[in-house]
Amino acid sequence: MASFCPKCSYKLSLVDTKPECPVCGVNLVYYGMEETLKQEADRAEFEHACLQPKFDRLKAGTIGSPLAIVRLVISLLPLVATLLPMGKVVVDLPYYAETISVNLVSVITKVFMNLDTDQLFGVLGSDVAGTAYIFYLVALLGLVVALIVAIVNIVNLMFACGKKGIKRNITTAVVGIVFTVIAQVGMIAWVSMMNATVPEIFSATVNPLGAIGIILAFVAEIVINVIYKKKDIKVKYKDLTEFLLPYDEREKYREEKKAAGKA
């Protein structure tokens, strides 16, 4: 129990065991709680008002308009395009033969999930296939980076209405195109060298439609972002001015706003 009454400053003694002040009758336990709750509500509403513009920009960049929805759908295309076949590899060894369609799924399941670094470095040091496998690694790197860029561009939509949002989306799409081309060039060089070096156990073909599909998807992203920029669609922010005011001023602001609406 407090030494003094918080309302009338009466000095409490040991015999004052009741929860009420013997002088003014105020409840010593709950006195001031209403003010504390009001301050906490004030703080919560203020924090909400500060965060709301970020939610408004997120909504505007993803589903805030028909054009934003179209851009969201188009942003998924590069990721889907990485599933297109980029080539075919046929391996024919004693007691083992396999035909692999090269795309994102096969790269993950056949390469990264069964990666043997010792064997890889051994192949890289080979006079027969060392140079070819350098291009093989280049192709893998290009495809993986293109995949990462496709995912990053989807995430970027959450910040698309920021100051550099459109520029960021276009830049990452260009990076995706560059690494897709690198992947295709690396694959062509690898296939060509391996076909010429060990034709009796290895044969492969390159399907350009896979890379073309990924590139066109990134180009579509660039185009839709340019259109979005030219349309200059503005973010619709919720009016939360009243929550940025001190608690005691909010009622006055609401009354003035209500009166202005009736006028």
Name the residue with higher pLDDT: 216 or 51: 216
Of 169 and 55, more confident: 169
Q: What is the pLDDT of residues 74-119, one digit of tens each?
A: 999 998 998 888 888 777 767 667 777 777 777 766 665 555 555 5
Give the phi and the psi of residue 240 in degrees, each rounded to 5.
Answer: -120, 30
Contact 138, 182 (CB under 8 A): yes
Q: What pLDDT is stored for residue 149 in this prediction?
A: 92
- In angstroms, the CA 87 to CA 101 distance is 6
Question: Is there a contact between 29 and 19 (Cβ–Cβ < 8 Å)?
Answer: yes
Q: 74 is written with which tokens?
A: 């188009």
Please name which of 199, 144, 173 lies closest in space to residue 71, comparing C-alpha atoms: 173
Check residues 230 and 50 and name the one with the higher pLDDT. 230
Query: From the CB of residue 142, how many other CB atoms can be counted at a distance below 10 Å?
Result: 21
Quote the pLDDT of residue 1.
Answer: 44
Reported as a single tens digit per residue, the pLDDT across 149-184 is 999 988 888 888 877 888 999 999 999 999 999 989
Nearest by Cα to 225 from 77, 74, 58, 81: 74
CB 67 within 8 A of CB 152: no
Rounded CA-CA distance 67/59 in Å is 12
User: Beta 87-93 vs 202-206: how paired, if at all?
Assistant: antiparallel
Closest by CA position to 56, among listed 229, 228, 236, 232 = 236
pLDDT exceeds 80 at position 16? no
Of 18-27, 143-152, 205-214, give the lowest mean pLDDT range.
18-27
CA dihedral 7, 10, 12, 17 (to 10 degrees): -60
